[in-house]
Each structure stands twice: as structure tokens, then as C-alpha cells.
Amino acid sequence: MNDRHSDMLEATRLTRAGRLTEATALLQRVLRGKTARDTTSDSFWEAATAPLEGGPHIIDAVAKTIEVANPGPSSRIVQAFGKADPSLRSTGRAEGTARPQIPGALRSFLDRVKRIGSASGIDEAVHPSPARQPDVVPDGGKFVTGFYSNLAGSRTYKLYVPGGYCGQALPLVVMLHGCTQSPDDFAAGTRMNALAEERTCLVAYPAQAASANASKCWNWFNPGHQQRGQGEPSLIAGITRQVMRDYSVDWQRVYVAGLSAGAAGAVIMGFTYPDLYAAIGAHSGLACGAASGLHSAFTAMQQGEAVAVRRPDDALDGGGYRRIVPTIVFHGDQDKKVHPRNGDQIIAQSRANLSVDLQTRVQHGRVPGGHAYSRTLHADATGRTVLEQWVIHGAGHSWSGGSPTGSYTDPRGPDATREMLRFFLEHPQPRPHGVSEAT
């Protein structure tokens, strides 16, 4: 398959996933004679993070998408941007909602894209094969929907229950999706449910509401969502505790992980609820307190500037449970969305809060046919790894080793899902001093 044909397929996939900014940028590069491999030289940032004109300030702006009843093969890209067509029908659109307006210049550009798609043979290639459909429910398991509400608001969530669950106490992993994603999309891309079936774990996926953030980003950059007992941390913790009430969960093995905005949220959860989460995983995320508003959020994401060390007790509500939560970090060194220095800041922030020195060693490897990586282990005097950092060389803003059935994934990287779960299960929550196993 030639590069242009491959890029058109990728643009179609991005469009159907609702990632219209990226699809537009890729199509523009195709028309300029560039390929997806040229993306590191393009300025993705201005387009991907520009706030909607006249709308709320958000971290990721995404245009509305329109589904098609019986789409023509090469018309999906144009139709997703709102191109008028008799076959379009509204799906889930409130009555009276205006169809997205497309400037005349962009309409002309999309017409050119449509002609390129037909000429390149994309008509025959864009139909998804059943084998590529997301399979988020392995045989024997269940993927159920839940709802949680408190004074801070309400959120839905999805919960994966493995087929091997028979009432025994299981580990629980809470997964926080990135901007524009959903629990189903995140489950498909990370393949966490498949691994949870293999290792017999529960997995909860809180869903960010579009009413809370137009791009469904977790609001990690807002001080009101960085404190214990407030805002989104209270909702995520509440969902975690609700699952622990409804199912048999091993309280020593409750973990939280996320991607991008979800990773920043996971780090916040580790600082604000160290009594609840035994370990955290951050993929392409930011340190706790990295931003205190929209402007500083853009600065942190673009530059990865050092943040003030935030003590665990600063985030607690008084009598405080003081503990540094073991952390595993993944980040691509070519990430243009969240600067890779942010991964360094997560590790530095945790190290600064430790009262003991850590011994560091670095390992290097390469995925066969894929990315090289550096893995840094920070161990205490007993040789136990407390912090673990993976830098994937050549990777961008995507879940390492993920499935192409989900968004923001890179199958060529080391398997972040498997490594995170391995790290998690190696780090149970320590029992409070004086509490026996029988207690």
C-alpha cells in the first residue's frame, strides 16, 4: 500500500472516531505531498488546542460528527465534516440543533479530498472488516454500566467483571480516558479488559461528561478538581468506593491509571487519595498541580516546565494519610501534544517527596519491528522498585502497545497495559501500622 493510500485510510479512521482536527491536518499534508511520517515537522498544536470560536475554553476542541444511514464509501470524510448530502440523517442530535458550518474554502478543500479518495481506490478499502471492530468484552466477562452521584455532580461509568469472578476479593483498576474518548473506546484501545480476564481483575472506566468539558477531558488543570473531597477527584473516588461496595474487592489492590488528561487525573488521585489507591499509572500525562488554569495548562503541555513540589499532606483534608504512591509512567519522546518532560516531572515530584534515597538503573530494549525504549527503575534500599519510567523512542501521543481498534494508540510500542498491571500487582497497599491480616 502506498503512503498516500495509507494516509487516506488513516484520515478516514480519525474522522470516523470524531478526531476531526487530526484528520484535517493529515489531509492537508497529503495534499501538500507529505505523509504521516512528516507529522513531527508540522505544527499540530495550534489546531488541536485552539478553543472553539465563541464557545467555552477547553483543552481539546472537536467538531460535531454526523452519522450516515447508508454512507457511500469515499464520502465518509466529507460527511463527517457536515457536507450536505441527501443520505445524511441526524443521530442523537437534539431537535433544532444547527448543523456545523463549514467555511467555503474548507468545503472546496474537502471536495478535493473526496476526488483524491475516489481516485486512489479508497472506496473499496474504507469499509471496516468485522475483525477490526472493538471487542471490549472477552468471552465469559461482562461490561456493565453504572451511575454515581454526590454533591459535586454525577458520572456514569463502565465496569468490566471477569468471567472468573465468583465472589472472591479481586484487584480493581480504575481507568481514566483521555480527551474525546469514552470508556468503550479506551477499553478497546488499551485492551485492559482482555488482560483483566487473563489476570482476573475488575476494571472501572469513569466517563467524563460533555457537560463538564466539551471535549470530555478531565479538568486536571482546574484547582477545583485538584483537591480531596471536591470536584472530579471526589466523583472518581466515589465511583471506586461504590464498586468496592457492590463487588468483592481486595482493598490492598485498588489502582488508578489514565491517558493524557486521564493520566493527569490519575496522578491527582494518587496525591489526594493515597489511602485508597495502592499504585498509579500515568501515560502521556502531567504532574499533580502542573497547572492552575487554562493558560498554565497550555504552558505545561507545550513546555513541560518544572512544577512546585506538592506534598501529599497539602492535598489532604486534615489528619492525613501520608504516603508516596508507587507510580509507573509511560511517555513517547516525540509527543507533540504533552511534552515528554512532563513524564520526568511526575517522577521528580514523587522522588522529592520520599524521605529515603532511591537507587536508579536504566534498561534499554526494542520491540521486534517496533519502537526502542528506555526503562528507568527507581528502587529503595531493599531493591523494591518504587517508581518506574518508560520512554518510548519515536512514539507520539498514544497508548504504547495499544490496539488500533481504539483511538490514540501505537501498536509498535511496548505493551503499556501489561506492564502497568504487572507493576500494580507488585505493589499492594501497605497495611496500617498495628493492623493484622485478620483485621
Q: What is the CATH number of the domain that holds 375?
A: 3.40.50.1820
Domain boundary among 93, 108, 127: 127
Nearest by Cα to 243 from 181, 137, 166, 157: 157
Q: Which range is least confidently modeled, 131-140, 141-150, 161-170, 299-308?
A: 131-140
Domain boundary among 62, 95, 127: 127
Residue 256 domain flag: yes
Task: Clarify whether residues 283 and 198 are in a common domain.
Answer: yes
Find cell 471496516 and name the residue. 128
In order of 26, 189, 340, 397, the CA distances from 393 in angstroms are 22, 20, 11, 12
Task: Clarify whether residues 314 and 349 are in a common domain.
Answer: yes
Task: Clarify whether residues 170 and 295 are in a common domain.
Answer: yes
| Per-residue pLDDT at 81 | 32
| Per-residue pLDDT at 16 | 62
Residue 431 domain flag: no
Task: Clarify whether residues 106 and 159 are in a common domain.
Answer: no
Whether the full predicted model's pTM is greater than 0.85, yes or no, is no
pLDDT band at 434 (very low <50, low <70, confident <90, very high): very low
CA distance 311 to 85: 56
**Cβ-Cβ contacts under 8 Å for 11 (sequence gap 6 or more):** 23, 26, 27, 30, 77, 113
Whether 180 and 205 have beta carbons less than 8 Å apart is answered as: no
Task: Clarify whether residues 97 and 166 are in a common domain.
Answer: no
As beta bridge partners, residue 373 has 365, 392
Task: Clarify whether residues 326 and 407 are in a common domain.
Answer: yes
Top pLDDT among 134 and 436 is at 134
Q: What is the mean pLDDT of residues 143-163?
A: 97
Residue 436 domain flag: no
Nearest by Cα to 284 from 240, 340, 246, 243: 340
Top pLDDT among 324 and 194 is at 194
Whether 174 and 204 have beta carbons less than 8 Å apart is answered as: yes
**Given the DSSP bridges, would you call strands 142-150 and 153-161 parallel, antiparallel or unpaired?**
antiparallel
149 has pLDDT over 90:
yes
What is the count of structural domains for the chain? 2
Percent of the chain with pLDDT over 70: 63
| Per-residue pLDDT at 123 | 31
Task: Clarify whether residues 118 and 156 are in a common domain.
Answer: no
Task: Clarify whether residues 146 and 65 are in a common domain.
Answer: no
Task: Clarify whether residues 37 and 119 are in a common domain.
Answer: yes
Task: Clarify whether residues 111 and 148 are in a common domain.
Answer: no
Residue 78 domain flag: yes
| Per-residue pLDDT at 304 | 83
Residue 21 domain flag: yes
Residue 433 domain flag: no
**Given the DSSP bridges, would you call strands 202-206 and 279-283 parallel, antiparallel or unpaired?**
unpaired
CA distance 103 to 394: 35
Domain boundary among 96, 127, 158: 127
CA distance 70 to 352: 57
385 phi and psi angles, rounded to 5 deg: -70, 125
Query: Which triple of cell numbers denotes residue 230?
Result: 471536591
Task: Clarify whether residues 28 and 156 are in a common domain.
Answer: no
135 has pLDDT over 60:
yes
Beta-strand ranges (E) seen in 216-348 are 249-259, 279-283, 327-332
Q: Which range is least confidently modeled, 124-128, 322-326, 405-409?
A: 124-128
Name the residue range of residue 380's domain: 138-425
Task: Clarify whether residues 249 and 111 are in a common domain.
Answer: no
Nearest by Cα to 416 from 388, 384, 380: 388
Alpha helices (H) in 182-329, listed in sequence order: 183-190, 192-199, 231-246, 261-272, 294-303
pLDDT band at 27 (very low <50, low <70, confident <90, very high): low
Beta-strand ranges (E) seen in 112-180 are 142-150, 153-161, 170-176
Residue 132 domain flag: no
CA distance 223 to 132: 40
Top pLDDT among 55 and 377 is at 377
